[in-house]
Amino acid sequence: MKNVRSIFQQKLTPEIFQKLEIVIAVNRATEKKKAELKPLLDFPKVKLIFNEQNLGYPRGVNEAVKNSSGEILVIVNPDIVFHDENSLQKLVEKIQKNEQIGILAPRQINDGSEETAQTVRAFPKLLLQIARRTWLRKIAGIREKVEFDEMSHLDLSREQRVDWIQSSFWVLRRKLWEDLGGLDERFFLFMSDPDFCWRVWERGLEVVYFPEVVVRADGLRCSAGGFLTFFRSWVLRQHLRDALKYHRKYRGRRNPRANFKF
């Protein structure tokens, strides 16, 4: 509810507001969840899609996009809240003015702190994904590679091109989305966002981190946890399954950013 309310508190030009539509896809929609969300229909321009089963993250997002019509897509997780009333206008104007931008994403601040969320990453490497969750990340040589993979060296106050950024908040053009066929539904919960960003770079477009716009999120990561958590967490086991699919897909392929000279 806070997410939708914060969207309607945004100051938008009449042209952009006229085209605004909010499509919310809900996986595994219980009767309780439906009852909780139906008050959102009191807002104008809101459409709810209830899926009885958990279709997975990519299918849910793809379905929401198919039920929309705008030329500019804003993919937003439900925990995101706008605080600056000009945020959405700035993002739309930014991508409209630069045809080279494939995906534009703001800075995210974890709720209750001023900590910048780790939404920017290098393209995944399987061994580093495993090392991050184990004692291996403390070993000299591996530690530095994990830190680079997590992009801990970046100045997150600066606008910059990045390998990939989490799809908790993306701005992009519908044409690009449709050209790439949306999110790859072979993934279920994870890895569809680095996969999509990889394909954006292959298309000759850029993934841009834009910290001039700041949004807040709850800071909770469903993939959080160490190695031992893997044995009791379905989510972490799904993360590994999706990671293996990703690495099979891109095994032996060169980072598409390597073809760019900035």
Structural domain contains residue 143: yes
pTM: 0.90
Structural domain contains residue 66: no
Residue-level pLDDT at 131: 74
Residue-level pLDDT at 223: 47
Task: Give me the residue label for tokens 């760019």.
Answer: 260
User: What tokens were used for 206?
Assistant: 């850029």
Residue-level pLDDT at 236: 81
Beta-ladder partners of 48: 24
Rounded CA-CA distance 228/237 in Å is 11
Sign of CA dihedral 48, 54, 30, 76: negative
Residue-level pLDDT at 232: 60
Structural domain contains residue 188: yes
Rounded CA-CA distance 110/101 in Å is 26
> Per residue of the chain (262 residues), what is the pLDDT tens digit?
789 999 999 999 999 999 999 999 999 999 999 999 999 999 989 999 999 999 999 999 999 999 999 999 999 999 999 989 999 999 999 999 999 999 999 999 988 777 899 899 999 987 776 776 676 667 777 677 677 677 788 999 999 999 999 999 999 999 999 999 999 999 999 999 999 999 999 999 999 999 999 999 976 555 445 544 544 677 888 888 999 999 999 999 999 998 776 5
Q: Shortest CA distance to 41 belongs to which of 22, 60, 28, 54?
A: 22
Domains held by the chain: number: 1
* Tally of CB atoms within 10 A around 183: 23
User: Domain span at residue 160?
Assistant: 78-259
Is the separation of the CB atoms in 187 and 245 below 8 Å?
A: yes
Residue-level pLDDT at 141: 72
50 in helix, strand or coil?
strand
Structural domain contains residue 18: no
Can you list the alpha helix ranges (DSSP code H) found in the chain? 2-8, 14-19, 31-37, 57-66, 87-97, 126-131, 142-149, 174-179, 192-202, 234-250
Structural domain contains residue 62: no
Residue-level pLDDT at 190: 94
136 in helix, strand or coil?
helix
Structural domain contains residue 28: no
Give Cα separations from 242 to 4, 82, 119, 237 (angstroms): 30, 30, 18, 9
Is the separation of the CB atoms in 199 and 250 below 8 Å?
A: no
Residue-level pLDDT at 146: 73
Residue-level pLDDT at 237: 83
Q: Shortest CA distance to 173 belongs to which of 258, 256, 91?
A: 91
Residue-level pLDDT at 228: 46
Amino acid in the structure at residue 113: S
Structural domain contains residue 199: yes
Q: Shortest CA distance to 74 belongs to which of 65, 66, 85?
A: 65
Residue-level pLDDT at 137: 66
Structural domain contains residue 206: yes
